[in-house]
Amino acid sequence: MTSNIVPADPGRVLIFDTTLRDGEQSPGATMSHEEKLEIAQLLDEMGVDIIEAGFPIASEGDFRAVSEIAQLSKSATICGLSRANFKDIDRCWEAVKHAKSPRIHTFIGTSPLHRAIPNLSMDEMADRIHETVTHARNLCDNVQWSPMDATRTEHDYLCRVVEIAIKAGATTINIPDTVGYTAPKESAELIRMLLERVPGADEIIFATHCHNDLGMATANSLAAVEAGARQVECTINGLGERAGNTALEEVVMALKVRHDIMPYTTGVESTKLMNISRRVAAVSGFPVQFNKAIVGKNAFAHESGIHQDGMLKNAETFEIMRPEDVGLAATNLVMGKHSGRAALRDKLRQLGVEVGDNQLKDIFVRFKDLADRKKEVYDDDILALVRVSDDAT
């Protein structure tokens, strides 16, 4: 069996975005129908490979959103989630089937804690996996299967059920770190072990799906890629339950900026990251923290005099990527009490004000005095200082 989604380039990493499914499951992040369509369109235009558009059995609204996104999508594969039963899988297929490239994603919790919930023995669960993946594959030739809580599942059992899912026709096997418990070394070892021990593992794609409970989701995802995973599951701004999911923008930019040590590529157009980040923040109601990697308000902002001076001489001194690469117009040199004279002169030039050395000295003293009283000094404040200085000199 050969999957229809294995890219020819062995270094190509597929980006699977689940903002509209796992992201939206975040308490309080519910999006309207129109908002979901808008985000799906942005994801599609940005070059995301697979969009998990929702959980069709969950509600009429989810079903409608997944089926409309399936019909509207121009290039991304459209995926829906389903539990391990025929009713869920049939509903999922009904929603995704009109997509140019549909995918059914079905899952079941395989760790001891999760097996206890449906009260299935190991053998009974193995049979359920065989039946449900076979059923999904009879409907769709692109089937993803996930052993939920894989990182806390016994290794022998995990190998056994992954082999069953592959034999039943799964084309992608996703390895979720459902509770954000794993660490980079372990995340890599798990993928390596599956690739070595499971027959047929080299014919499918392994995906990594990490949660950020210990703040390691991106590191764990990248470690899995280095071990052989070729699909990363992630969300815009890391939106997701509890501490969230792996942040799409972090994975994309890490692979771009550190291509020297991680020679993998994605199909995502990084200049579209800032816009989609802002739209997801707006529609989900989850603001992006100021110091969030890549898309935070301060990710390309500098206030200290030493940093501003360095930035004015050579941006690479304190920036490892260009703001334009993520869709920002320019670096933001924030004027505050830590700013130095070089930054003030530069700011005055930007505002069209040319002053001599003596007047710069005078404005600088006034600026420092104001900055001690105010968190951030805005352009209008600086122009007011220039007028006061003009009157005084």
Q: How far is the CB of 147 from ligand KIV (least distance, A)?
A: 9
245 is annotated as contributing to ligand binding? yes
Sketch the per residue contact string, 8 through 27, with Zn ion: x for CB under 5 A, - otherwise: --------------x-----
Is 52 near Zn ion (CB under 5 A)?
no
Q: Which of residues 185-214 bind ligand KIV (CB under 6 A)?
A: 209, 211
d(CA 316, CA 312): 10
Q: Which of residues 316-345 bind ligand KIV (CB under 6 A)?
A: none
Sole binder of ligand KIV in the list 146, 187, 218, 277 (CB under 6 A): 146
Is 176 near ligand KIV (CB under 6 A)?
yes
d(CA 347, CA 243): 38
Nearer to Zn ion, 155 or 242 (CB): 242
With CB under 5 to 8 Å by kind, the binding choice for 107 among Zn ion, ligand KIV, none is ligand KIV
Select the residue whose beta carbon is closest to Zn ion and give its number.
Answer: 22
98 is annotated as contributing to ligand binding? no
- In the beta sheet, which residues pair with residue 144? 105, 172
- Contact criterion met (CB below 8 Å) for 205 and 232: no
Residue with tokens 């050969």: 2
Sole binder of ligand KIV in the list 93, 107, 286, 367 (CB under 6 A): 107
Sole binder of ligand KIV in the list 29, 50, 125, 148 (CB under 6 A): 148
287: DSSP letter = P
Sole binder of ligand KIV in the list 178, 235, 237, 270 (CB under 6 A): 178
d(CA 293, CA 297): 9
Buried b / exposed e along 117-156 (16+ C-beta atoms within 10 A): eeebeeeebbebbeebbbbbbebbbbbbbbbbbbbbbeee
Is 163 near ligand KIV (CB under 6 A)?
no
Q: How far is the CB of 178 from Zn ion (least distance, A)?
A: 6
Tell me how many degrees the CA angle 365-371-377 measures, rounded to the nearest 5: 110
22 is annotated as contributing to ligand binding? yes
d(CA 330, CA 322): 8
Tell me how many degrees the CA angle 215-221-225 measures, rounded to the nearest 5: 155
Which residues lie near ligand KIV (CB under 6 A)? 22, 107, 146, 148, 174, 176, 178, 209, 211
- Binding site, annotated residues: 22, 209, 211, 245
